[in-house]
Amino acid sequence: MEMHTLYTKSFLLPLFFLLLTSLISHSKACNVIDKEALLQFKNKITSDPSQLLNSWTLSTDCCKGWNGVTCDSTTGRVVSLTLSGTVDDGIDLPFDTYLSGTLSPYLGNLTNLKILSLIGLMQLNGPIPVEFNKLAKLEKLFLNDNKLSGDLPLEIGSLVSLLELGLSGNNFSGIIPSSIGSLKLLTSLDLKKNNLSGGVPESIGNLKNLGFLDLSGNKIGGKIPESIGGLKKLNTLDMMQNKIEGNVPVSIGGLSSLTFLRLSDNLLSGVLPSEIGNLKNLKNLNLQNNMLNGNLPASIGNLNGLRELSLGNNKFSGKIPATFGNLKDLQNVDFS
């Protein structure tokens, strides 16, 4: 019995390695168009002190050993391009680095791309090329913490497969295009710390799958659109440090999944609507540094899970409602 088992193992092991070798050798080579697009991206990089792109050479296969590049083994098409300003070589402690240069329009030719992540490269500058509108299969686009600038392209609405969009920590200006409302699958939208202006487009209400929305640290004005109340899956809404004015919309009571709401440091006025009491899952409510007035609604006592409440530097009047005593989980309160 032992001899039979030993024979079986000795037969199967070489067969396994033969199959593995066959699979590796038959993986598709890098698509010619994709390789050119990546090399054109490299050509637009003027400084690469940590040699992040050193492995990207004309004589090698971009699907085999190119830093940050992942291909589909069946088609040879590039499906992921991920480069970070934080380098971890597994030997020393992680360290910060950068890439200087601009985004090549040739990246728009990576039409099978699902992930494009160029986070924290710090010195990437210039606009988002309009050619990005060809990336119809893109699911995740992260360009956070660079020096990118210019308007958000209207064509961004063409990225209909997009699930997550992160453009925070750049120098983008102009308005948030209404075409953003075409990204019906979007679950996360992070535009914080830019120079965006104009208003929040009404079309934001089309993003029914949105769970995270951060527009803080911009120059956005106008009113909070009523359509925002339709975002039933929204968990986090942050619009602090803008120039948003007008009332807190009654429709905000429709954000039944909300746990974090921060509208501080704006120009909001009027009374706080009683519908705020519908946000039963809310844990953090920050409305400080506005011009809100009138009495606090008694419905605020419905926020049983509330832990932090910041209402300082407004023009509230009247008494603190007796229902305030229902907030058993409250840890921090600011009425200054």
For residue 25, what pLDDT is reported?
Answer: 47
For residue 89, what pLDDT is reported?
Answer: 58
For residue 20, what pLDDT is reported?
Answer: 46
Compute CA distances 160 → 40, 130, 136, whole Å: 25, 15, 6
For residue 221, what pLDDT is reported?
Answer: 98
Q: What structural domains and CATH numbers belong to the chain?
A: 27-148 (3.80.10.10)
d(Cα 139, Cα 160) in Å, to the nearest integer? 9
Whether the CA torsion 122, 124, 130, 132 is positive or negative: it is: negative
For residue 96, what pLDDT is reported?
Answer: 85
For residue 302, what pLDDT is reported?
Answer: 97
For residue 8, what pLDDT is reported?
Answer: 45
Average pLDDT along the chain, 336 residues, taken 10 residues at a time? 47 47 61 97 96 96 96 96 80 76 98 97 96 97 97 95 98 97 98 98 97 98 97 98 98 97 98 97 98 97 97 96 95 96
- Of 272, 263, 283, 289, which Cα lies nearest the Cα of 329? 283
Say which residues have a Cβ less than 8 Å from residue 266's Cβ, sequence separation at least 6. Answer: 239, 240, 241, 242, 243, 244, 245, 289, 290
For residue 41, what pLDDT is reported?
Answer: 98
